[in-house]
Chains A and B, each alone.
Chain A
Amino acid sequence: MTEKIDPEHQEQHIVGPPVYLTIVITLLVLTAVTTGVAFIDLGVFNPIIALAIACFKASLVVLFFMHIKYSSRLLKMTVLCGLFTFMLLMTLTMTDYISRAWGMW
């Protein structure tokens, strides 16, 4: 059990059916919610809510179905690293698109 001292290593966990069932039901409910909300006019909040729900659903899948909640710090960092680079691509590209027409009216 000395392996536990190293933060990069962690013991494998088995996640049981009760967790999976809870998660899948939550995901299905959230799918219904996001579809339902889309039919209500909330202005700018429509896409925000849709994305928030999608992010939440994705986190559930990553944390429980993909076992990240029980994984080593290295894997957690890996997931964050992917998100970070993805956001980098989006935001830095957007710096151009957002400001392209500034001062040209």
Chain B
Amino acid sequence: MSTIISLPDQATARLPRKSFLNEEYGIKSWLLTGDHKRIAILYLVSITFFFVIGGALAGLIRMELLTPPSDLMATDTYNKVFSMHGIIMIFLFLVPSVPATIGNFLIPLMVGARDLAFPKINLLSWYLYMAGGLIIFAAMVLGGVDSGWTFTTPLSTHYLNTHVTTAAIGIFLAGFSSIFTGLNFIVTVHRMRCPGMTWFRLPLFVWSHYATSIIMILGTPVLAITLVLVALERTLDIGVFDPSKGGDPLLFQHLFWFYSHPAVYIMILPGMAVISEVISTFSRKRVFGYTAVAFSSVAIAVFGFLVWEHHMFIMGVSQYSALVFSLLTMLVAVPSAIKIFNWTMTLYRGSITFETPMLYAFGFMGLFTIGGLTGVFLATLGMDVHLTETYFIVAHFHFVMVGGMLMAYLAGIHFWWPKMTGRMYPEAISKVSAIVTFIGFIVTFFPQFLLGYLGMPRRYASYPADFQVLNVFSTAGATILGIGYLLPMLYLPWSLVYGAIAGDNPWQATGLEWQIQSPPLTVNFVEIPVMDHEAYDYEWLANKTVHEVQTVG
């Protein structure tokens, strides 16, 4: 049963006199900060920067694909454009998106700590990210990389004259930045919980981030060593991945996908983290089946390590092994489905309101479900042979990554914007942008399922004229999608100055982060809180509000 809670009257809200934003001024106070909230903001700004670049490259791809021949750019330019789009979007946007910004900001608040366990390592992680990002950016400016984001050997090691090594170094550094983020989260969740904050009182946001961190620390180093070997192969010609010397290119695939499959869970689990919070808050109900959702996050992280070979079904791996991996891949659908079902059950008989984060969350649930289910198609061996390396797979992972993660990211940014900045975003226009994003997304990527099913291969600049209609749809949709992303980039900065004052708890949410002032103090909590109720306890919140009114009156 949901508890009826009326949102507070924000007309009386005042910005706190002191907060982490005005504690210190000057560029130095930001660049040398140890405050997880400031580092989160640094991440937010830099991630947005790279997102804009990656988005611009996506725009170029869609423009090129408007017409069948490769007329806007030469085919090798096209190769560079889609490679850089993939590299930037995956390693510089999706992997750090929610964990490094929203997660960084919120995990200490949610567990009731003053900061992450290692503030200096947190800052180091941002510097590594920036170093990696700028090196990748340099690789792009100096001439680009055309190996695809997958660095397939021996193409990347022996046949390309582009800046593959530079990009690999950049990804290596960005990888260590995400290792350090994960390390910090795990230690914080284990060691910094406030009194009374038992594991099963943690918000599901924290559980999901804990699962993400496990993947970050165990998967990323394998990618790191793989890229080191690729770089050594290119520079010193060592031959581990070179078939002409007896090396095995498939070994590269194994090692690469050992990280890169779990990496898609690095990209989606934090999105699920956001959705759990948003759905519960705007249904005013405890998340249905809390324990199941919590454990499904960990299950996704663990199962995620058992399925990587599904990226290699058409590469000549053993059929018997493929059979095992196909089965295991379908197993991952179970914990994902548990989450979707439980969120739906949370909505059931909740007192739902449709604020912007909730709209994005609905977008997430629909699009992620489609993305996830098409993943089951691709896990099937026979279907996979037909659909891999076509636009079907492009549509599949964009449904999960863009329709899922990006929607969740925007949901999270809107949801916690009042907490981060102390001001509300403009509700009406943000609702419009959420709907525009959803429509634009469907128009962009749904035709790609059809294109792929009809056999249009990915990674080509030209295509037969039969495919043009659907491609025009897709490009038109991308334009709408672009507007949907542009709007928040305009109105969110606007709201920093002109937005309504939010007050401590504009959504009447139950998390610890909402019980303190917004924006929070640098120390987060004047006194370390004592957790005396379960997570998502709206009764407790209602009582607390009543109680407060009584004491004041």
Contact = CB atoms under 8 A, between A and B. Distances in A.
Direct touching of A and B (C-beta under 8 Å): yes
Interface of A: 8, 74, 81-82, 85, 88-89, 92-93, 95-103
Given A8-B190, A74-B190, A85-B218, A96 B317 contact: yes
A96 B321 contact: yes
Contacts of B324: 95
A8 B305 CA distance: 26
Contact of A99 (B250, B254, B258, B320): B320
Given A85-B218, A89-B258, A102 B320 contact: yes
B318 A89 contact: no
B309 interface: yes
Interface of B: 190, 218, 222, 250-251, 254, 258, 305-306, 308-309, 312, 317-321, 324-325
Contacts, number: 42
Contacts of A93: 251, 254, 258
13 contacts: A81-B218, A89-B222, A92-B306, A93-B258, A95-B320, A95-B321, A95-B324, A95-B325, A96-B318, A96-B321, A100-B317, A101-B318, A102-B318
The 5 closest A-B pairs by CB, nearest first: A100-B318, A99-B318, A99-B320, A95-B321, A96-B321
Nearest to B222: A89
Contacts of A97: 318
Residue from B312, B317, B318, B320 whose CB has the most chain A CB atoms within 10 Å: B318
A55 to B, nearest CB: 20
B250 A85 contact: no
Contacts of B319: 99, 103
A81 B302 CA distance: 11
A40 B309 CA distance: 40
Given A8-B190, A74-B190, A85-B218, A92 B320 contact: no
Contacts of A8: 190
A97 B251 CA distance: 9
Contacts of B190: 8, 74
Given A8-B190, A85-B218, A99 B306 contact: no
Residue from A81, A85, A98 whose CB has the most chain B CB atoms within 10 Å: A85
Q: Mostly helix, strand, loop or mixed at chain A's interface? A: helix
Contact of A96 (B222, B305, B306, B309): B309
A92 B261 CA distance: 14
Contacts of A101: 318
Given A88-B305, A102-B318, A102-B320, A96 B250 contact: yes
Contacts of B305: 85, 88
B279 to A, nearest CB: 31
Residue from A82, A95, A96, A103 whose CB has the most chain B CB atoms within 10 Å: A96
A74 B190 CA distance: 9
A82 B318 CA distance: 27
Nearest to A102: B320
A60 B319 CA distance: 41
A24 B271 CA distance: 49
Nearest to B186: A78
B306 A88 contact: yes
A98 B325 CA distance: 14
Nearest to A95: B321
B240 to A, nearest CB: 14
Given A93-B254, A96-B317, 10 more contacts: A74-B190, A81-B218, A88-B306, A89-B222, A89-B258, A92-B306, A96-B312, A96-B321, A102-B318, A102-B320
Contacts of A85: 218, 305
A92 B317 contact: no
Contacts of B309: 92, 96
Contacts of A96: 250, 254, 309, 312, 317-318, 321
A82 B218 CA distance: 8
Nearest to A100: B318
A74 B250 CA distance: 36
A101 B309 CA distance: 17
Contacts of B325: 92, 95
A99 B324 CA distance: 11
Given A74-B190, A85-B305, A88-B305, A95 B258 contact: no
Contacts of A81: 218
Contacts of B320: 95, 99, 102
Contacts of B218: 81-82, 85
Nearest to B306: A92
A95 B323 CA distance: 10
B526 to A, nearest CB: 25
B9 to A, nearest CB: 43
A103 B319 CA distance: 10
A93 B261 CA distance: 14
A40 to B, nearest CB: 30
Nearest to B218: A85
A103 B251 CA distance: 21
B492 to A, nearest CB: 39
A81 B210 CA distance: 14
A1 to B, nearest CB: 17
Contacts of B317: 96, 100
Nearest to B258: A89
Nearest to B305: A88
Contacts of B306: 88, 92
A100 B306 CA distance: 18
Contacts of A89: 222, 258
Nearest to A89: B258
Contacts of A82: 218
A74 B187 CA distance: 11
Contacts of A74: 190
Contact of B321 (A88, A99, A103): A99
A31 B34 CA distance: 46
